[in-house]
Amino acid sequence: MSLVRFFRRKHWDSERAAELESHLQIETDRNIEAGMSPADARAAAYRKLGNPYRIRETIYEINTIPLLDTLWRDLRFSLRTLIKRPGFTVVVVLSLALGIGANTAIFSLCDGMVFRPLPVPDPAGLVTIDIAASRLTSYGASSYLDWVDLSTRSKSFQSLSTRQDMTAAMNPAGAVRDGKPQVIWGQLVSGNFFSMLGVQPALGRTFLPEEDQTPGKYPVMLISYSLWQRTFAGDPAIIGKQVELSGHSFTIIGVTPKSFSGVDLWFRPDVYLPMMMAATVSPEGNDNLTHRDYRGCTLLGRLKPGITIAQAQSEMNVIMSSLERDYPNTNKDTAAIVRSERSRRFENGAATPGFILLGLVVLVLMMACANVASLMMAQAASRIREISTQLALGASRAALFRRFLTESALLAVLGGVSGILLAAGCIRGFASLIPYSTTPAGPDLKLDTRVLGIAALASISAVLLCGIAPAFMAVKEALRATTTRTAVGGRSHSALARRILIGGQVALSVVLLVAGGLFLKVFVRAQSADLGFNPDHMLLVFVDLGLNGYKDQQATHLNQQILERVSSLPGVTSATLATNVPFLSGGSWDLSIDGYTSAGGEKFVDTNTNQIGPNYFATMQIPLLSGREFTVHDDERAPQVAVVNETLARRYIVKNESVDKALGHILRLRDNVPIQIVGVVKDSSNGSITDPPPPMFYLPNLQQGSSRATVQLRTKGDPTALVSLVREQISALAPGVTPLSAITMARAFSANGLFTFRVFAILSGAFGVIALSLAVVGLYGVVSFVVGRRTQEIGIRIALGAKPGDVLRMILANGISLATAGVLVGIVVALAAAPLLRSLLHDISPRDPLTFVVIAVLLLTTTSIASWIPAHRAAHVDPNAALRCE
Partner 1 sequence: MARIGESPLQSDMVQGTLDLLILQTLSPGPAHGHTIAYSIERRSEDVLQVEHGSLYPALHRLEDRGWIAAFWGTSENNRRARYYRLTPAGRKQLVAQTNRWDQLVAAIGRILRPATE
- Whole-number Å distance between alpha carbons of 610 and 622: 14
- H or E element in which residue 175 lies: none
Candidates 45-53, 147-155, 212-220, 564-572; binding stretch for partner 1 (CB under 8 A) = 45-53
Residue 254 CB, nearest distance to partner 1 (Å)? Answer: 50
* Residue 52 is a binding residue for partner 1 (CB under 8 A): yes
Biggest CA–CA distance in the chain, Å, is 135
Residue pair 218/198 in contact by the 8 Å Cβ criterion:
no
* Residue 396 is a binding residue for partner 1 (CB under 8 A): no
SS3 of residue 114 by DSSP: helix
- Whole-number Å distance between alpha carbons of 451 and 661: 58
Candidates 42-50, 506-514, 572-580, 582-590; binding stretch for partner 1 (CB under 8 A) = 42-50
Candidates 59-67, 203-211, 609-617, 825-833; binding stretch for partner 1 (CB under 8 A) = 59-67
* Residue 181 is a binding residue for partner 1 (CB under 8 A): no
Residue 396 CB, nearest distance to partner 1 (Å)? Answer: 13
- Whole-number Å distance between alpha carbons of 307 and 23: 80
* Residue 13 is a binding residue for partner 1 (CB under 8 A): no
Nearest to 768 by CA among 541, 506, 417, 447: 506
Candidates 12-20, 581-589, 591-599, 805-813; binding stretch for partner 1 (CB under 8 A) = 12-20
Q: In this chain, which of 7, 18, 348, 671 binds partner 1, going by CB under 8 A?
A: 18
CA distances from 683 to 271, 645, 648, 691, 776 (A): 39, 5, 9, 12, 49
Q: In this chain, which of 8, 10, 38, 62 binds partner 1, going by CB under 8 A?
A: 62
- Whole-number Å distance between alpha carbons of 822 and 815: 11
* Residue 123 is a binding residue for partner 1 (CB under 8 A): no
Residue 397 — φ and ψ, nearest 5°?
A: -60, -40
* Residue 54 is a binding residue for partner 1 (CB under 8 A): yes
Q: In this chain, which of 14, 37, 58, 724 binds partner 1, going by CB under 8 A?
A: 58
Nearer to partner 1, 22 or 290 (CB): 22
Residue 73 CB, nearest distance to partner 1 (Å)? Answer: 11
* Residue 14 is a binding residue for partner 1 (CB under 8 A): no
SS3 of residue 872 by DSSP: helix
Residues 65-94 that bind partner 1 (CB under 8 A): 65-66
* Residue 61 is a binding residue for partner 1 (CB under 8 A): yes
Candidates 53-61, 255-263, 634-642, 868-876; binding stretch for partner 1 (CB under 8 A) = 53-61
Nearer to partner 1, 17 or 479 (CB): 17
Q: What angle do CA 255, 256, 259 make, to 5 degrees?
A: 140
Work out the burial of residue 567: count CB atoms within 10 Å of its CB; fewer than 13 is exposed, 13-18 middle, 19 or more buried: middle
CA distances from 864 to 142, 509, 761, 762, 806 (A): 63, 15, 27, 26, 16
* Residue 258 is a binding residue for partner 1 (CB under 8 A): no
Q: In this chain, which of 59, 148, 810, 824 binds partner 1, going by CB under 8 A?
A: 59
The mark string for 778-817 relative to partner 1 (x by CB under 8 A, - otherwise) is ----------------------------------------
Give every CB contact of residue 664 below 8 A, 6+ residues apart in sequence: 676, 677
Nearer to partner 1, 64 or 647 (CB): 64
Q: In this chain, which of 10, 11, 14, 29 binds partner 1, going by CB under 8 A?
A: 29
* Residue 49 is a binding residue for partner 1 (CB under 8 A): yes
* Residue 48 is a binding residue for partner 1 (CB under 8 A): yes
Alpha helices in 208-266 (DSSP H): 225-232
Nearer to partner 1, 18 or 431 (CB): 18
Q: What is the DSSP string of 720-763?
A: GGGHHHHHHHHHHHSTT---SEEEEHHHHIIIIITHHHHHHHHH
Nearer to partner 1, 29 or 122 (CB): 29
Which residues contact partner 1 by CB under 8 A? 1-2, 5, 12, 15-16, 18-20, 22-23, 25-27, 29, 48-52, 54-55, 58-59, 61-62, 64-66
